[in-house]
Structure 1
Amino acid sequence: MKSLFDENYIGTMKLKNRFVRSATWENMTTEDGHMTEKLFGIYDELSKGEVGLIVTGYANIVEEEQPNPGMMGIYDDSFIIEYQKLTSQVHVNGSKIVMQLAYGGTKTTHNVGQRVIYAPSEVCERGTKTLGKAMTKDEIDYIVRAFAQAGRRAKEAGFDGVELHGAHTYLINQFLSPYYNRRDDEYGGCLNNRMKFLLDIYCETRAAVGDDYPILVKLTASEFFEGGLTFAETREICKKLEQVGVDAIEISGNIHGKANTLVGETLDGHKIHEEGYFYEYGKVISDEVDLPIITVGGLSDINTIEEIADKTKIQCFALARPLLAEPHLIKRWKTGDRAPVKCEHCSKCRTRRGNFCVVHNKR
């Protein structure tokens, strides 16, 4: 039986346990994406709370693209010095930190109409109804280079790796999706073509950061709707990512914010669980690829997490909302205190003043 407090590796990155703070949009930066003292404090508390790996809230890679206010930026070199302070304070406490890189695209209602929003094709995002501009080849190359330069900056800032956000209907996910990607060039059509945008980003980023720098990819297990990306296709994407040298894959799902209403249902061949919504999908992938797999979604009970760890090859377990309520939760579990988490799963964390627990951790 593997312990949740075992040391383990993602590529060359050594982690002190199997717990991950999954990327959480804090909505606490300055207007242009720079750090604030409040945000420094959040990451300091997480690292003091014994989180093995912290994944930052998603960071925008080009200045003109901001799917949500208050999100971190990594679009120019001005961010490097302040992020060096961030990574140093996390490392002092023995945690590792990875920056999540993203282009949000049409999954946004923020400042729509005031900026150009890229998409693979002119297809409205199903939730936001936002319509984007179908990208030219030059625009694709521009975004690919922007991801790579963001990776370079993250490495110079002392981050232990980067995560490419390819889930939740953001731009990479839309290129992978046959519903959103209606292109008839080398980036559209068959799955191999739809993968090209992600693979171009990975390869360009790898060239910018070197062979030994950890690059993770976050994917959706399935889009869970007719005509969308299927779990069978995601499994093939994971096999390709293993071939090209990705260091770990985080498996989420495109029912963001609605998974708890679907608990017990079987979607695209597998069951949605109350604890670990998507772990069955992660289990299948962990059996098929020789890479660390991270499962995320609905995890809050250490006993259940131990059961999943024992019966699957899943390596790491990512939490978000429970750590908003208790940033020192992992430290508490390490001491043997298994009392229920304080998080009440009320999903009231998103406020106009930032994203935080309004019940137990008021700001």
Structure 2
Amino acid sequence: MKTLFDETTINPMKLKNRIIRSATWEGLAGSDGHLTDRLFKVYETLAQGGVGLIITGGTYFTPDSTTLPGMPGIYSDSLIDDYRRFTNMVHGSGCPIIMQLAYSGKGGEMWTPASPTRNDIKLIVKAFGEGADRAKAAGFDGVQIHAAHGYFLSQFLDPQKNIRQDEYGGVIENRARIILEIYDEIRNKTGSDFNIFIKINGTDAGDEVAGFNSCRYTCLELASRGINAIEISGGADELKNCMNHPYPESIFRNYAARIAAEVKVPIILVGFNRTPAVMEEILNTSAIEYFSLSRPLLREPNLVNKWRNDSNSEAECISCNACFRTDGNMCVFV
């Protein structure tokens, strides 16, 4: 029987358990994308709290692509030394760390698939590779491509939002093209020993069938290319309206299980993971191998250590969303 606290490896990163801190916006970096003491402290506490792997909040990798306040940046080699100190601190607690690379637009404007020219897309693809290369130089164990939650890359997969008439729009082979090109660019820049993950919607509220089919095609293509792990999430509207789901927690389990049954790649399930017993049941009745969460760790950074000592203990997070504050993403009850 598999358990949440099995030790596992992902290319060849060692994880002390199957619980992952999922990416979330912290809003605590400097205005120039540099790391701050407050951000260091957040990750130091997370690393000591027992998670098997940390995925950072979305990080911007071109100087003009920050769209949320307080986003960390990896757009210049001058940032690498800060991150080396950062990754050394996290690794010192026995925890690997993945940097999420996120692209939403330019100059504070949220882009849609219609926004970039073909040349813009080439530059974005190249910049993803450069950002990943800097992350590797800074000591990260890998990067995650953010292609979920209705942001720029997620919209390319949505036939209702992607109205392009060129090789990046229309049929799914075209709509997924930018993501596959980004993966190939990162892999070419960083080599086979560097982890590449993706976060992708298993479905979208607008069209469940089309959303899942887009996810399935993209995951199968990425698996054939050698991606190291896939995190399955869902549309932002669904995350806000979780009561519409057949499960009160681990809400995207059906989509993740269907993908996990078809790809020989570790699948990470995110979305209201709250109870160890529920996660272990999913672990042993599907091919899903990992579980990620973020908001419960805002309230209890030591939650995984608590679960290790008492698997029947409940997470204190009540999913109220009051943690999304202008002064940073922090639980109001702490």
Q: TM-score range by the shorter chain?
A: over 0.9
The residue aligned with 1:152 is 133
Residues 156 and 205 of structure 1, relative CA distance in 2, 3 Å threshold: same
Give 3-state SS (helix, strand or coil) of 1:230's partner.
helix
The residue aligned with 2:160 is 179
Q: Distance between the aligned counterparts of 1:349 and 1:120, measured in 2? A: 30
Asked if 1:170 corresponds to 2:151, the answer is yes
Which runs of structure 2 are paired with 1:51-62 in the superposition (5 Å)?
51-62=51-62
* Contact 1:65-1:117 within 8 A present in 2 as well: no
* Contact 2:157-2:214 within 8 A present in 1 as well: no
* Contact 1:221-1:230 within 8 A present in 2 as well: yes
Q: Distance between the aligned counterparts of 1:38 and 1:147, measured in 2? A: 26
What does the per-residue CA deviation read over 1:280-332, in whole Å, with 9 as the maximum and x for residues that have no partner? Answer: 11011111111000000111111111111121111110011110011011011
Asked if 1:25 corresponds to 2:25, the answer is yes
Q: Distance between the aligned counterparts of 2:108 and 2:304, measured in 1? A: 41
Asked if 1:307 corresponds to 2:281, the answer is yes
What does the per-residue CA deviation read over 1:193-215, in whole Å, with 9 as the maximum and x for residues that have no partner? Answer: 11110011111111110112110
* Contact 2:67-2:108 within 8 A present in 1 as well: no
Q: CA deviation at 1:9?
A: 2.1
Q: CA deviation at 1:229?
A: 4.4
The residue aligned with 2:271 is 297
Q: Return the letter of the residue paired with 1:303.
A: A
Q: Distance between the aligned counterparts of 1:118 and 1:138, measured in 2? A: 15
Q: CA deviation at 1:264?
A: 4.8
Residues 343 and 180 of structure 1, relative CA distance in 2, 3 Å threshold: same
The residue aligned with 1:334 is 308
* Contact 1:178-1:227 within 8 A present in 2 as well: no
Give the helix-richer structure, 1 or 2.
2
- Percent identity, aligned pairs only, is 42
Q: CA deviation at 1:78?
A: 1.5
* Contact 1:80-1:156 within 8 A present in 2 as well: yes
Q: Return the letter of the residue paired with 2:220.
A: K
The residue aligned with 2:227 is 246
Q: Distance between the aligned counterparts of 2:311 and 2:4, measured in 1? A: 14
What does the per-residue CA deviation read over 1:21-53, in whole Å, with 9 as the maximum and x for residues that have no partner? Answer: 000110001111111111100100111111111
Alignment gaps of 5+ in structure 2: none
Q: Return the letter of the residue paired with 1:344.
A: I
Residues 225 and 155 of structure 1, relative CA distance in 2, 3 Å threshold: same
* Contact 1:178-1:228 within 8 A present in 2 as well: no
Give 3-state SS (helix, strand or coil) of 2:236's partner.
coil
Q: Distance between the aligned counterparts of 1:72 and 1:219, measured in 2? A: 21
* Contact 1:47-1:90 within 8 A present in 2 as well: yes
Select 2:249's aligned residue among 261, 275, 283: 275
What does the per-residue CA deviation read over 1:155-213, in whole Å, with 9 as the maximum and x for residues that have no partner? Answer: 00000010000111122112222122111111111111111100111111111101121
Q: CA deviation at 1:336?
A: 2.3
* Contact 2:277-2:311 within 8 A present in 1 as well: no
The residue aligned with 2:241 is 261
Q: Distance between the aligned counterparts of 1:251 and 1:183, measured in 2? A: 25
Residues 150 and 255 of structure 1, relative CA distance in 2, 3 Å threshold: same
Select 2:200's aligned residue among 202, 205, 219: 219
Q: CA deviation at 1:228?
A: 8.7
Which runs of structure 2 are paired with 1:72-221 in the superposition (5 Å)?
72-105=72-105, 118-121=111-114, 134-221=115-202
Give 3-state SS (helix, strand or coil) of 1:119's partner.
coil
Q: CA RMSD in A?
A: 1.7
Q: Distance between the aligned counterparts of 2:201 and 2:241, measured in 1? A: 18
Q: Which is worse superposed, 295-304 or 221-230? A: 221-230
The residue aligned with 2:16 is 16
What does the per-residue CA deviation read over 1:106-155, in whole Å, with 9 as the maximum and x for residues that have no partner? Answer: 9xxxxxxx65654321xxxxxxxxxxxx2111111110111000000000
Give 3-state SS (helix, strand or coil) of 2:2's partner.
coil
* Contact 1:260-1:274 within 8 A present in 2 as well: no
Q: Return the letter of the residue paired with 1:261.
A: N
- TM-score by length of structure 2 reads 0.96
What does the per-residue CA deviation read over 1:334-353, in whole Å, with 9 as the maximum and x for residues that have no partner? Answer: 12253222212221001121
Q: Distance between the aligned counterparts of 2:323 and 2:226, measured in 1? A: 36
* Contact 2:233-2:271 within 8 A present in 1 as well: yes
Q: Return the letter of the residue paired with 1:214.
A: N
* Contact 2:113-2:163 within 8 A present in 1 as well: yes
Q: Distance between the aligned counterparts of 1:23 and 1:218, measured in 2? A: 9
Give 3-state SS (helix, strand or coil) of 1:60's partner.
coil
Aligned length: 334
* Contact 1:187-1:193 within 8 A present in 2 as well: yes
Alignment gaps of 5+ in structure 1: 107-113, 122-133, 266-270
Q: CA deviation at 1:227?
A: 9.1
Q: Return the letter of the residue paired with 1:231.
A: F
Q: Distance between the aligned counterparts of 2:231 and 2:160, measured in 1? A: 22
